[in-house]
């Protein structure tokens, strides 16, 4: 009875935490509108049977919805994103933006809980509170929520793809990983590894699931707007993605030196594929995926601070190692303190004037360093414990 009461108290605390967070963001003015207007306007046009890639139509709709908006942008993401967001396009903007705000929070929390379950096999009450708080207050998470971004879709696609791979529900895993393709510049290395892994393991249903999701999306697109393909390619080929301040090494080099030399540094990740695949065999897919993201996110062609929300499973894994005391005491304090300092530094940066996205290029590098130290110290403690047991 006391155990059930304890679980009930912890569950109640999580609910209160979530409700307070939701209340804060719902009551704040214009939260979640800035980027969501771009996606909503395109989904709205598609829901009406109009061209979601016509710039004039997008400008008219965006200005009529938010008259004070000073610029017009289109959705350059792969077209199946609009199929996912189609239900929101059927709603008025004021209702749609609030609904997406709640969905964004829910997706981040669901990804945090699912990652913890993958790591431990259980939902531990106080631990879930800790990892939920760390996930919600990670600056890329706050940026995703505040802007109304869709990077949370990529996050849940990766996490639940990993979940269903472990459960051997491969078709569902493939469909989840297909959702992660709405931002291919973020997931390029993970998806490349996934294809190689599927071929090695001969788990073809993963690819079938991805293909089925792609075909279904294209059918919906053709039914809603038959001319979607040429319209999308006209828009995509008329746009330069190098014009933005990006939170990547390539973006940082471009901002400082004016050179695009490192924009395609992602190819440097490809020779590391055999190492990461061996890691998937020796450990699990989640660990391999986290390693791949830490390698590929800073090397991406472009990407922004909110795209770094896909690194939340890395943070969850570090917290899991700390929570279960899998590191030596000194390393625990060093890694835990480093994680806290990273959070503090990210929040301190918000007080700086004229902050550009390339200012956040250091975040995945710092997280990779903490992950590497935690990994090494965890292995060292395990080997020491094994040596003592053998003696």
Residues 6+ apart with CB under 8 A from 181: 78, 80, 157, 187, 191
Per-residue burial over 31-69, b = 16 or more CB atoms within 10 Å of its CB, e = otherwise: bbbbbbbbbbbbbbbbbeebbbbbeebbbebbeebbeee
Among 185-199, 210-224, 238-252, which is the least confidently predicted range? 238-252
pTM confidence score: 0.91
Q: How far is CA 31 from the centre of its chain?
A: 19
Among 203-207, 284-288, 313-317, 387-391, which is the least confidently predicted range? 387-391
Which has the closest alpha carbon to 288: 307, 273, 308? 273
Q: Which tens digits make up the pLDDT trace of 160-172? A: 999 999 999 999 9
Residue 236 phi/psi, 5° resolution? Answer: -65, -40
Among 131-135, 320-324, 379-383, which is the least confidently predicted range? 379-383
DSSP 227: T
For the cut 90, the answer to whether the pLDDT of residue 353 exceeds it is no
pLDDT band, residue 323 (cuts 50/70/90)? very high
Mean pLDDT value across residues 97-126: 90
Do the Cβ atoms of 283 and 371 come closer than 8 Å? no
DSSP3 helix / strand / coil % (the chain, rounded to 5): 75, 0, 25
Among 23-27, 87-91, 221-225, which is the least confidently predicted range? 23-27
Q: How far is CA 50 from the centre of its chain?
A: 30
Q: How far is CA 57 from the centre of its chain?
A: 30
Q: How much is the CA Rg of the chain, to the nearest whole Å?
A: 22
The 10 Å Cβ neighbour count of residue 100 is: 24
| Predicted pLDDT of residue 263 | 84
């Amino acid at each position: 009875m006391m155990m059930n009461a304890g679980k009930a108290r912890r569950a109640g605390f999580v609910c209160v935490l979530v409700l307070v967070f939701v209340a804060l963001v719902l009551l704040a003015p214009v939260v979640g509108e800035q980027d969501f207007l771009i996606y909503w306007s395109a989904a709205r046009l598609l829901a009406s049977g109009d061209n979601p890639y016509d710039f004039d139509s997008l400008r008219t709709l965006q200005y009529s919805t938010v008259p004070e908006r000073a610029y017009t942008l289109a959705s350059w993401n792969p077209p199946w994103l609009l199929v996912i967001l189609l239900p929101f396009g059927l709603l008025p903007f004021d209702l749609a933006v609030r609904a997406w705000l709640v969905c964004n929070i829910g997706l981040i929390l669901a990804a945090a809980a699912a990652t913890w379950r993958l790591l431990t096999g259980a939902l531990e009450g106080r631990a879930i509170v800790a990892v939920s708080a760390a996930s919600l207050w990670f600056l890329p998470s706050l940026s995703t929520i505040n802007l109304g971004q869709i990077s949370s879709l990529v996050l849940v696609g990766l996490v639940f793809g990993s979940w269903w791979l472990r459960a051997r529900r491969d078709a569902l895993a493939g469909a989840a990983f297909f959702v992660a393709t709405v931002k291919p510049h973020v997931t390029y290395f993970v998806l490349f590894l996934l294809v190689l892994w599927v071929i090695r393991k001969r788990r073809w249903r993963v690819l079938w699931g991805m293909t089925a999701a792609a075909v279904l999306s294209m059918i919906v697109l053709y039914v809603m707007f038959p001319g979607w393909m040429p319209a999308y390619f006209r828009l995509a080929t008329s746009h330069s993605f190098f014009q933005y301040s990006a939170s990547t090494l390539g973006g940082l080099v471009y901002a400082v030196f004016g050179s695009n030399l490192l924009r395609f540094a992602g190819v440097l990740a490809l020779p590391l594929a055999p190492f990461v695949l061996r890691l998937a065999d020796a450990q699990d897919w989640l660990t391999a995926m986290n390693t791949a993201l830490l390698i590929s996110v800073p090397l991406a062609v472009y990407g922004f601070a909110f795209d770094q929300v896909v690194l939340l499973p890395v943070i969850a894994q570090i917290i899991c190692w700390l929570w279960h005391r899998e590191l030596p005491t000194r390393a625990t304090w060093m890694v835990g303190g480093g994680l806290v300092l990273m959070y503090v530094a990210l929040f301190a940066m918000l007080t700086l004037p004229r902050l550009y996205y390339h200012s956040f290029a250091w975040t995945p590098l710092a997280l990779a360093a903490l992950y590497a130290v935690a990994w090494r110290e965890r292995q060292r403690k395990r080997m020491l414990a094994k040596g003592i047991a053998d003696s």
